[in-house]
Each structure stands twice: as C-alpha cells, then as structure tokens.
Amino acid sequence: MTKKEVISLVQKKNTNKTKFSKRLIVALFMLTFIFLFMLGRLSYIMIVKSPKYKSEALKQWTSNLKIPAKRGQILDRNGLELAVSMNSYRLDLDMTTLRQTLMDKKMTNEQLSEKLSSVINMPADEISKILNRTSSDGNPIRFAILTRGIDKSQADKVKALDFRGIIISSDSKRYYPNNAFLSSVLGFVNAEGKGVSGVELTYDKELSGTPGSTIFQTDNKSSQLPFADSEYSAPVDGKDLILTIDENIQLVAERAATRALNSSGAKSVSITVMDPKTGDILAMVSKPDFDPNNPYKKDSKRTTKSIEDLLRVDAVQNSFEPGSIFKVITAYAAIKEGVANENSTFVCNGSLNVDGHTIYCWERNGHGTESFADIIKNSCNVGFMQLGKSLGKEKLTSYTKQFGFGQKTGIDLPGESSGIIKNADKMNNVDLASLAFGQGLSVTAVQYLSAFNAIANGGTWIRPHIMKEIRHTDENNKTTIDKQFSEFDKKQIVDSVTAATLRGYLEQVVSKGVGNNAFIEGYHIAGKTGTAEKANLKGGGYETDKYFSSFAGMAPANDPKVTLLVSIDEPDPTINYYAGQVSAPVAKELFNDIFSYMIMKGQLSLN
C-alpha cells in the first residue's frame, strides 16, 4: 500500500469517527431532552395536577352517600296528624359502574329503562332521559338520582335485577293520611322532598332537617371494602309544624264547601274561619281541591280548574271585588265621622245619577225612605252611595287603607296578593260611589277577614297566621318548643265603642235583613252579605251573569268567638246568585256545627 493510500485510509477513518461522534452527541442530546421533558411532565403531573388526579382517584374508590333526614310532621292544633313521613327506599345511580354493567350484559339504556319502568312505575322515557343525561360540558354524568319514595317490594324487585351501579338505600316518603283534606293549605313536596306549595313550601327549611352522609372506600364493583376507614354523619330530622287549624272545624268547613259547590253549580267555593282575638286560622277551604298524595293525577273535578289553579290558596292568592260585604267599612267610617247615626234618613228610588251615570240598587224598585240601620240590613246601594258622597274620596280611601286593604297582611302562606285600591287623587265621583258599596277595588279573603276581625274584637288588627308553633322531640322523647308564632303586629285601628255599635247593626242584617238565611235563634250572629258583579278582565266593565257571592259573619255579636267568610265564585245564575240565598245558608250551617262542637268542648257558652 502506498503512502498516499495509507494517508487516505486514515483520513476516511477519522471522518467516520467524527460523524459517529456527532451522531452520538445528537443522540445524547435527544435522550437528554426526552428525559428532561418526561421529568418536567412527571413533575407537572405530580405537583401541579396532583390535587385534581387525587380527587378523581378518590371519587373512583370512595362512595359518598347522602342519608336523608326525616321530614317533620304537620299537625293540627290538637295534635292530629295532617302530614307524616313514612319509611321508604330510593334509587341512586353510579353511572360509571352502571355503564360497565350494561356493556357486560350487552344491553342499551333503553332496554334497562323498560325493565325498570315496570318495577318502579316510572315512564321508560323519563328513566331513559336520566340514563342519557350529560353534564354542562357534554360529558356523561357520574352520579344521578333515579327516584325516591318507592316501597320495599319495589326495592326488592330492583335488587333482583342484579344491576351493579343501581344503589338502593333507605328514604322517607311524604304521606297525607286525609288525602284532599286541607290540601291547598298543606301543599305537597316534590320527588326530591322539597316543599312545592302551601305550608310545605313556607316552612320547608324547618320541616326538612339536615341530611347526613356516609363516606366509604369501594372495590371495582362499588361494594364497601370491609377493612377500610369510613366516615358517618348522622342526619338531623326536621321539626314538627303545629298549625292553628282545628281538624274538626276544618272538617265542618270542607263538608259545607262541597255541598255549596254542588248545589250552586259554582266555579269554586272558598271558606275561611278565624279566631278574631288571636288571628288564628281555624279552617281554610278551597273547593275543588286535589290529593297531595298524587297532585298531578287527572280528576273529573278539574273541569273548571287546572292543577296550577288548584295549588293556589284561594283565600290568600285570589283577589275579588267584595261587593256589599265592604259596606261594613263604609258604615264604620260613616259612624266614626258623624255623617250618619240612628236618626239619619235616606231615600232610595232604585238608582242614583252620578255625574251622568245611572248606578242601580240591587232592588230596582227602590227601598223608599230608610234609616241608617235600614240601609245596612237592606244592603241598599243608593243609601251607601250617599254615605260615600258625604264622606268624600279622601276620607273613605283613608279608612279603606286604615283597615289594611291594598297591602299584604303578611300571612305565613305563599303567594299572597295585596289587592287593589285606587288613590283618592285618581278617583272620580263614580269611583267614589262604587267604592262605597264595594265595587272598583279588589281584596283577598284573609285581608277582608283581618279587617272584619277588628270590628269583632273591639278594634285591633291582628296578622292572620296558620303556624301555631314549631317543635321537635329528641332521642329521649323530650319535646321542645322551638318557636311560637309571635309576629302579630297588633294595631288599634278601630274605636271599640263604634265597633260595638256597628256589630249591633250587623246583627240586624241577620235577624231582620238580607242575611236572614244565616239566622239561628240564640246565636246572635252578626254579618253582611255581598253580591258583586265580576269585572271583565279583557274588555273592561263587568261580565254578564257572572257574580261573586259572599257572606261575612261573626258570633256571638256582643263578644265574637268566631269569624268566617264564605265566598262562592260564579254561582249558576239560573239557580240563584244572590249572596243571601247561596252564601248565607252555608254560613248558617257552619255556625250551627262549629258552635255545637265548641259547646261540647267547653269552649263556648251561650247562656
């Protein structure tokens, strides 16, 4: 080999060695980069993302089950059960486990929905919606509530299906032992056990209690690991709600309202009974009604009312033009202001012209010459229009507001309406004349009775209320009263002497006047009838042949123990619509039965 060839070979080896060294450096650099990248990524996962992954891992191997608190009872003033909670079961879904189970069994969500539907009496499409539900970010949900309140036989059938991911646990179910009894006042709870209407809604927080929980570690089949740590927090049961309602008086009112609804052909009937000295509501009825055990069940009684309307507490949420029962307020104002007394005279020819508008008395032939007592007992519109003119817009409106009209009473039931009254500066003479006999304003039953109670009790306005007290019983069976109703907001709005005088006039309405159909010998019932035309809410003016007929009463007149208001909405005009014929007889039945009960209980003596 020549010297030149040797030199060339050495140079070639050196070149190859240099190339190899460069490749080695590149490889080492790449390996170093990959190592550093993996180290950084691992550090990111272990340090930055650690809380998230730890949380997700805990979710996978731990189960957190809520233990529902038992909802408190609702009782009447004598301790009789109106709403109770019964032992039942609930179905919850561990969706991750359930999806795996469906894959193992080669089943679809829809097939499972059909199987469950026949067991728990829940529509398959509703079950399917729950099974296919996704979170806000579009990912499948991990946990869902399927249903609550199923009985043991249903729970056993679900267990027999052997589907991992369906969790069966104890629960409680709301039950109303008297079905539709007092339904609008009680309201009902939804599938989650939350109050929807009535006192179930108003006192939901007190009745609900505080749920407990149990946290434990699980295996891949969602079964609790036997030796793992667990945490348990006991539920705190809800408190019991004691109402002012007297079940016996409520029963009397329920029966009377049902008979009135059937006999009058009316759209609805509302009855409220109160203790005028305390503001206690002793009975409150709205007919037609619903069964809170199955509130959405279709019923033939609902031909004139939807379930939404049935859920309303008529006496609290529905306002109406009072008509002649409002004359009690006008009469009080007239006595107090000295514009009328027992020597005053009025002439009724059947109508009165007010600024070119002819306004009729209900007695189109007129009542002739009358005294102040006569226009009250005859419910003469003309006489009261004259009183309204004498009082003037400012004074009559002032008394109307003084009695609480146009503002909420603050009753402890949901959705209270405030009613409507016009301000004096927006009234004309026709408005004044109409207001004097109870048209052109709207009131609620509890609003009116609160004002009426002030006449009955000698002058004090007291907030109407349905709650008597809230209490609980501990594990030692010791009962503690947590709260008693105390928000009476008492106000002296009426002069006691004037109130006593007016009660005497109102007793004559029943003994000698238009309320005679409520008369019972020896009971000294004082009251006022009211037949109001119903306002046309769409076209203005008043409806043809649609009336709201009421009777407000108190007894005994010298010291009333009970006040009541009977309201009949749209009685069939072909039968009768005057309050003296359709509402007063209902009041007579009520007073007779209520007083018989109170005498038997020793709560009343008519001697």
Parse the chain into domains and list their residue ranges. 63-243, 247-291+316-474+486-600
Predicted pLDDT of residue 80: 95
Nearest 5°: the CA angle 115, 117, 118 is 75
Tell me how far apart the alpha carbons of residues 381 and 358 are, in angstroms, rounded to a whole number.
Answer: 12
| Total residue length of the chain | 607
Distance CA 571, CA 13 (A): 118
Q: Residue holding tokens 């009724």?
A: 348
Q: Contact at 8 Å (CB) between 240 and 469?
A: no
Q: Among residues of the chain, what percentage have pLDDT more than 90?
A: 59
Selecting among 85, 208, 270, 324, the annotated active-site residue is 324
pLDDT at 96: 80
Number of neighbouring beta carbons within 10 Å of residue 229: 9
The CA distances from residue 312 to 307, 315, 571, in Å, are: 9, 9, 20
| Three-state secondary-structure class, residue 415 | coil
pLDDT of residue 47: 75
For residue 281, the one-letter residue type is: I
Q: What local confidence, expressed as pLDDT, does residue 292 receive?
A: 92
> Whole-model pTM?
0.82
Contacts of 358 (CB under 8 A, 6+ apart): 351, 352
Domains 63-243 and 247-291+316-474+486-600 share a fold: no
Residue 278 reports pLDDT greater than 70: yes
The yes-or-no answer on residue 135 being catalytic is no
Residue pair 238/208 in contact by the 8 Å Cβ criterion: yes
Domain 63-243 has CATH 3.90.1310.10: yes
Least confident of 128-137, 190-199, 308-317, 412-421: 128-137
CATH superfamily of 247-291+316-474+486-600: DD-peptidase/beta-lactamase superfamily (3.40.710.10)
Residue in the structure block whose two tokens are 């001697």: 607
Structure confidence by residue, pLDDT tens digits, 374-406: 999 999 999 999 999 999 999 999 999 999 999
Could you count the other beta carbons within 10 Å of the beta carbon of residue 581?
17
For 45-86, the pLDDT digits (tens) are 777 666 766 666 555 555 556 677 889 999 999 999 999 988
Question: CA–CA separation, 31 vs 24, rounded Å?
Answer: 10
Chain-wide mean pLDDT for the chain? 87
Q: What is the pLDDT of residues 502-559, one digit of tens each?
A: 999 999 999 999 999 999 999 999 999 999 988 887 767 787 889 999 999 999 999 9
- Check residue 298 and give its pLDDT: 65
d(CA 70, CA 240): 11
The per-residue pLDDT for 216 is: 54
Reading the block at residue 44, the tokens are 């990111």
Task: Give me 273's structure tokens.
Answer: 């009974």
Query: Which of 38-47, 156-165, 320-329 is modeled with the greatest confidence?
Result: 320-329
